[in-house]
Amino acid sequence: MPELPEVETVRRTLTDLVVGKTIQSVTVSLPRIIQKPDDIHQFELDLAGHRILEMGRRGKFLRFIMDGVVLVSHLRMEGRYGLYQSGDPVEKHTHVIFYFTDGTELRYRDVRQFGTMHLFAAGDEFNHKPLSKLGLEPLDDAFTYEAFRDVIARRTTKIKVALLNQEYIVGLGNIYVDEALFRAGIHPETPACELHEEQLRKLHAMILETLNEAVEAGGSSIKSYVNGQGEMGMFQQLLRIYGRKDEPCVVCGHVVEKTVVGGRGTHFCPVCQPLKRTSAGKSKVRRKVGSADNQGSGGVKG
């Protein structure tokens, strides 16, 4: 699934490809992609004649900002856009085609068919699902340490679970959360409320560092995700902890472990990211840390 850096890369690519173009007509061949309006005929009618002014993004949602309307698009698992000339053969799994007045076509392909599109009157998109309840935008200037601390520091949930909650911070997916926690030296199962200020500051800085590196590298992907112009993400090669189960930690050499936190596969180094059990009075912390065969548990510092 594309994460925030990939979607940001797609946004930038689409900015180059479609901003300034005017939609002549639209055809939809898979109605369930269109979540709003209910009637796909209305969707096609409502988009005709509009000019794309700007490409925006909110979390992992792309925003096609037009004169009077905004199209909100989520790629989900496999959705992708491509710009074609009219007459180019239409590839399988192409579900929506935007025909521009200059003879080019923006085509939306989605093998898994999980992607969504919502059409709103301009400005109205933030008052409704799916954008209405989203949290802080980590690549915005407003994502300061203080803003981060205010949404995270009091949570009693595990820090990894808190970071994945889109109502707190948007767009931080499984890969980047593991990377940021590793770089910050924080065990993913640490309750958020037990992190002290120095750890929170470090984590905030590492979230920014990880995301910015990924955006610069064009986004990563586990499944050779291709962005709007067909470039492959390069960040995958920069991953320090994610996907490295049983490999030596790049910092200390200890074997990288994999566990499950909040239902998600989670990579961590038990030496670089020790789980401190500070308060004896709290209910028992589950002994689920470490891999099933318990290898490497001797490396945890007391």
Binding site for Zn ion (CB under 5 A): 249, 251-252, 254, 269, 271-272
194 included as an active-site residue = no
Considering the complex, state which of residue 70 and residue 256 has its C-beta at the smaller distance from Zn ion. 256
Annotated active-site residue 80? The verdict is no
State which residue, 51 or 254, has the beta carbon closest to Zn ion.
Answer: 254
Nearer to Zn ion, 180 or 249 (CB): 249
- Mark whether 3 is an active-site residue: yes
Residue closer to Zn ion (CB basis): 110 or 257: 257
Q: Name the catalytic one among 3, 6, 105, 189.
A: 3
- The catalytic position among 11, 12, 60, 107 is 60
Token look-up 């490409």 returns 55
Cβ atoms < 10 Å from Cβ of 183: 20
Least distance from Zn ion to the Cβ atom of residue 181, Å = 12
Task: Tell the smallest beta-carbon distance from residue 258 to Zn ion (Å).
Answer: 14
Give the DSSP letter of residue 284. Answer: P
Least gap, CB of 179 to Zn ion (angstroms): 13
Which tokens hold the place of 95?
A: 């579900």
Annotated binding site for DNA: 93, 112, 155
- Distance, CA of 48 to CA of 98 (rounded, Å): 9
User: Least distance in Å: CB of 257 to Zn ion?
Assistant: 10
33 contacts 95 by C-beta, under 8 angstroms: yes
Q: What is the DSSP string of 137-181?
A: -TTSTT--HHHHHHHHTT--SBHHHHHH-TTTBSS--HHHHHHHH
Distance CA 62, CA 125 (A): 12
When CB distances to Zn ion are compared, the closest residue is 249
Tell me how far apart the alpha carbons of residues 96 and 262 are, in angstroms, rounded to a whole number: 35
Catalytic residue IDs? 2-3, 60, 264
